[in-house]
Amino acid sequence: LKSLSTALHDRGMYLMVDVVVNHMAGTSDPPNFSSFQPFSSQSDFHAECFVSNYDNQTEVEQCWLGDKNVPLVDVNTEDADIVKTMNTWISTLVSNYNVDGVRIDTVKHVRKDFWPDFAKSAGVFTIGEVLHNETDYVSAYTR
């Protein structure tokens, strides 16, 4: 990836990566937590519940996406050690691969106050995907 990034820059192009902070994909329910890295303990994730009410922000942020066939296990981004790991990870990723921008998936599924430090740790342009049809709801993520 680093050589690709260098080649792109030499041609006046930029490299943007797509990242997911919210969850990890399980292959079974219950998932094999020990197969996930760097978070390999059940306590690194929110308790299992699948989002059923997208108007309930707590449920949106702390329940799982997916289903029992392919559970998207929700990372506990309220845990300070997990936050530190995520911020270090994005900083290292951007630095190691000379990344110019970061596109963040499923932003609304992580608490809003997580994102400013994550974006600052990236140190490059960041943009997040917030799938919702209400401007008032989406605009809160621009801060």
98 torsion bin: left (phi>0), alpha (psi -120 to 50), beta (else): left
The predicted structure's pLDDT at residue 22: 96
Q: Give residue-wise pLDDT tens across range 8-25.
A: 777 878 899 999 999 999
The residue type of 57 is: Q
Beta strands at 101-105 and 71-74: parallel, antiparallel or unpaired: unpaired
The reported pLDDT for the residue numbered 65 is 97
Candidates 78, 129, 134, 136; catalytic one: 129
Sequence-distant (6+) residues with CB within 8 A of 125 are 16, 100, 101, 102
Q: What is the pLDDT of residue 47?
A: 97
pLDDT in tens, 94-106: 999 999 999 999 9
pLDDT, position 2? 66
Tell me, what's the pLDDT at 1? 63
pLDDT at position 38: 96
pLDDT in tens, the chain (143 residues): 667 777 777 787 889 999 999 999 999 999 999 999 999 999 999 999 999 999 999 999 999 999 999 999 999 999 999 999 999 999 999 999 999 999 999 999 999 999 999 999 999 999 999 999 999 999 988 87
Model pLDDT, residue 6: 74
* φ/ψ (deg, to 5) at 132: -165, 150
Q: Which residues contact 133 (CB under 8 A, 6 or more apart)?
A: none
Give yes or no: 129 in active site.
yes
Helices 2-10 and 80-97 cross at an angle (nearest 10°) of 50
Q: Which of 59, 105, 134, 136 is catalytic?
A: 105
Q: Full-prediction pTM beyond 0.95?
A: no
Q: What residue has token string 């608490």?
A: 111
